Structure 1
């Protein structure tokens, strides 16, 4: 790592050391939120048994975390600009660490869910501000390398979660998957406190009106109503579910109305006039839905249908993220050499094949083979789709578009945890997935990934339409 410009009288070696450790703190700040998602997923069967709760209730351990991140990640970035990024990041790290301890000590399911929501708030702060800190800690010539490092750390957190979680549950019980964040969180806080650059100073009070409180609340209410609509009823869809779904639709309309009139909106509505962008956002949400389904459904399939213990479940589930780490850089290089829309299509085809394989191939070998198709396809799609979206964006709009891409991804994750979880429960024909017969779980797996393949087919249709419009526009 090249040192940034040293202050008068400051030793270059000392400055290089500070930059290195600042990046270490940012790397941990990126690793912990992704670890918080994947390590909890592998513990769902154990948590269902521990709290004697149905699958639709236990999946709120995942949903509460994702909802907090999704509804707040854009707002906390703005809040960091107002109050000071270093100060808010340190608060976020402490919140994440404290909430992890509360999760490990929770005596009831609903206290666990509340603690997970608090943990999600801390994760949102860490994810939003870690990226913003890169420009303050490394020279511009190394920004790409630093961003690549943070992306790798996120993938490592996702890969580490299943194997580490399975091992810790088998050795110490389910509380250990949350309490492991205590030493990691404290180490992150100490490094961030010691090495991150100090805040220059907050904005004036008159500028604080720029924080979109109304938009944040409307987005939170909309997403909460949507997730409740997809989970209440233990797999069935009744009047309450319909009312909640209508409330989510109304919330979406109010959110759009409020954002169009806000002085400093949470999300710029004008960006949705770009058809290529809206198509990319839709595909991003569909693909994320399918990827989240693998994290939510796989632990039950591997444990109930295939009879694996917690440690083996974690090991098998870590294969996908490991493939993701190994295929990420080659996927990016392929996008640089080929036309991005073609790579998007190739990635979606691989994901469709992987989804079909998950539905039809039996046993552990079949599961691993399917994941070996699905995961590289996802990396190809992400690299190409993000490149296609960001290529023609003005410099002053890159932050907004990046935030919207992140929002569409998180919406897909929520859909995968709620809708695909409901499809799995319905396909298994039982509300008690943790105690379901192997044949029922296998049936649920087949139906879930049959639906997943259909979602990828929709994404392929969108990609083809976008490519045709682009070709016609260039030929005109």
Structure 2
């Protein structure tokens, strides 16, 4: 029998103040979203700096997204096996070093590699931050902490474009990376000093790390991510080939996971109705939220005739609302229950999407912003409640895996939304090139796209209500099944 891995350093007898632990978790959630949004605004400047084509510069964003998507489940599982705090620390260190490399990159290929490494670190941070909540805060405060983490993610998304624009204007594009390095070092210090350590899983629970399954899942997700991004809104032969490769990879992954003794994902875990509903609705809602980012700029600029500065200001309303409502949403989840708040959040998103699908352009900016506020507030409520429902009663040695899987469903939804909902918008507008479409055609595309978005979330709500009816209780309070891939533990 193999010797058990040495446990992580035990936490000090006197637990650090909760505020410092929450600061460490908040930074670990803020930095990955800031790393995404702050880079997007620099693409034109980087293209000029390296004399590169737009398609080449896009890989500054795509490489980050690919790394996060392909590695996030494996990172969560690795945290369960060798210690969640240990893997989180490694992720923050990789993220910070890669950020420094990006700021010093002498050419575009090095910058793309740095962004991929940054995404690998971000995958660890996103997968393990939520997993550590269960052993850091009291059980009855889980909802509000999940709301806080959602707020920090929204703050990172909101802060990125504005902060990036200022840094580029004053110091140049390298500053958008170099300015993040001190925040990474602060997150590393706080995580090391303020978050509790834990022993890795015992031999009977741990088994071996499923490297074959991890590689197959990474290839499958990588092919899907490329299929959703590489040809934009078009659906050419390359996209079809990548989707076929992704399907073949998924089939091989399922076969492999049924045969290995310690699989990365125990397929029976998806029989848990709370988990299945949580992952499904997370993907659908993320698909719809990406619609606001894909369709919004076109509608505001070409249907409503706003100048670019005003478009950016209006677009920031969504993330700002998410940031302001995240913590109250978490408090509501703790008070009224995750199941009730999941349904309320989904209903809010549906209502806002329906309003956007019916709002005439004569209503102007207010007619767009008010429904957008409803959508994003519903999203903040859904995120806090859904994350709580999925993560609250999970075994400590499954938290990293499920946190990674939950983040994966969100990322897949975002990629699908960027591609599929963009294609719906172009089709509904009825113009071969949206850049030459009339304001009426753009408005028509917006209305039909948000109508489809409302239907997608309505399907997600039907899934949740079906679970509720079958379980005879709120989805979040339904009994969690005991099986190989997912176990429950008594509350602390």
Quickly name the TM-score band, shorter chain normalised.
0.7 to 0.9
Equivalent residue, structure 2, for 1:263: 261
Deviations 1:284-341 (A, max 9, x none): 2100111133234445555566566665444333322222233233334444555655
> 1:449-460 to 2 correspondence within 5 Å?
449-460=450-461
**Higher helix proportion, which one?**
1
**Structure 1 residues 140, 233: closer, same or farther in 2, change over 3 A?**
closer
Equivalent residue, structure 1, for 2:247: 249
Deviations 1:122-154 (A, max 9, x none): 111223344455677x57589747666544433
Q: What SS does structure 1 have at the residue aligned with 2:54?
A: coil
**Structure 1 residues 63, 393: closer, same or farther in 2, change over 3 A?**
same
Unaligned runs of 5+ in 2: 1-9, 476-492
Of residues 465-474 and 381-390 in structure 1, the stretch that sits farther from structure 2 once superposed is: 465-474
Equivalent residue, structure 1, for 2:482: none
Q: Quote the offset at 1:269 in angstroms.
A: 1.0
Equivalent residue, structure 2, for 1:67: 66
1:37 aligns with 2:32: no
Q: Structure 1 residue aligned with 2:325, among 299, 304, 327?
A: 327
Equivalent residue, structure 2, for 1:372: 373
Q: CA separation in 1, counterparts of 2:348 and 2:406? A: 22
**Structure 1 residues 92, 23: closer, same or farther in 2, change over 3 A?**
same
Of residues 256-265 and 181-190 in structure 1, the stretch that sits farther from structure 2 once superposed is: 181-190
Contact 2:64 2:115 in 1 (8 A): yes
Q: CA separation in 2, counterparts of 1:426 and 1:109? A: 34
Contact 1:44 1:58 in 2 (8 A): yes
Deviations 1:324-377 (A, max 9, x none): 233233334444555655543332232123223444544432332122110111
- Taking structure 2 as the reference length, the TM-score comes to 0.75
Of residues 220-229 and 320-329 in structure 1, the stretch that sits farther from structure 2 once superposed is: 320-329
> 1:200-211 to 2 correspondence within 5 Å?
210-211=208-209
Q: CA separation in 1, counterparts of 2:269 and 2:138? A: 27
Aligned residues: 459
Q: CA separation in 1, counterparts of 2:92 and 2:405? A: 24
1:467 aligns with 2:468: yes
Q: What SS does structure 2 have at the residue aligned with 1:210?
A: coil
Q: CA separation in 1, counterparts of 2:181 and 2:272? A: 44
Q: Quote the offset at 1:59 in angstroms.
A: 6.0
Deviations 1:155-185 (A, max 9, x none): 3323322433344456556554444323322
**Structure 1 residues 162, 192: closer, same or farther in 2, change over 3 A?**
same
Equivalent residue, structure 2, for 1:230: 228
> 1:8-19 to 2 correspondence within 5 Å?
16=16
> 1:265-414 to 2 correspondence within 5 Å?
265-299=263-297, 301-302=299-300, 312-336=310-334, 338=336, 340-361=338-359, 362=361, 363-389=364-390, 400-414=401-415
Deviations 1:388-414 (A, max 9, x none): 445675676555544433332222122
Q: Quote the offset at 1:52 in angstroms.
A: 4.6
Q: Quote the offset at 1:423 in angstroms.
A: 4.0
Deviations 1:6-53 (A, max 9, x none): 65xxxx7xx757x76565444322211121233345556777898552
Q: CA separation in 1, counterparts of 2:231 and 2:108? A: 18
Equivalent residue, structure 1, for 2:122: 123
Q: CA separation in 2, counterparts of 1:392 and 1:86? A: 19
Deviations 1:70-113 (A, max 9, x none): 32223224434666666644443343234334545668776654
**Structure 1 residues 431, 212: closer, same or farther in 2, change over 3 A?**
farther
Contact 1:63 1:414 in 2 (8 A): no
Q: Quote the offset at 1:222 in angstroms.
A: 1.0
Contact 2:284 2:413 in 1 (8 A): yes
Q: CA separation in 2, counterparts of 1:201 and 1:388? A: 25
Q: CA separation in 2, counterparts of 1:240 and 1:206? A: 44
**Structure 1 residues 205, 255: closer, same or farther in 2, change over 3 A?**
same
Q: CA separation in 1, counterparts of 2:85 and 2:274? A: 36
Q: CA separation in 2, counterparts of 1:182 and 1:441? A: 41
Measured on the aligned residues, the alpha-carbon RMSD in Å equals 4.3
Q: CA separation in 1, counterparts of 2:175 and 2:30? A: 18
Q: CA separation in 2, counterparts of 1:281 and 1:351? A: 17
Contact 1:226 1:244 in 2 (8 A): yes
Q: CA separation in 1, counterparts of 2:339 and 2:205? A: 41
Contact 2:128 2:400 in 1 (8 A): no
Equivalent residue, structure 2, for 1:416: 417
Equivalent residue, structure 2, for 1:219: 217
Contact 2:127 2:400 in 1 (8 A): no
> 1:69-148 to 2 correspondence within 5 Å?
69-80=68-79, 88-103=87-102, 112-131=111-130, 144=142
Q: CA separation in 2, counterparts of 1:139 and 1:464? A: 30
**Structure 1 residues 103, 289: closer, same or farther in 2, change over 3 A?**
farther
**Structure 1 residues 73, 390: closer, same or farther in 2, change over 3 A?**
closer
**Structure 1 residues 103, 355: closer, same or farther in 2, change over 3 A?**
farther
Q: What SS does structure 1 have at the residue aligned with 2:224?
A: helix
Equivalent residue, structure 2, for 1:153: 152
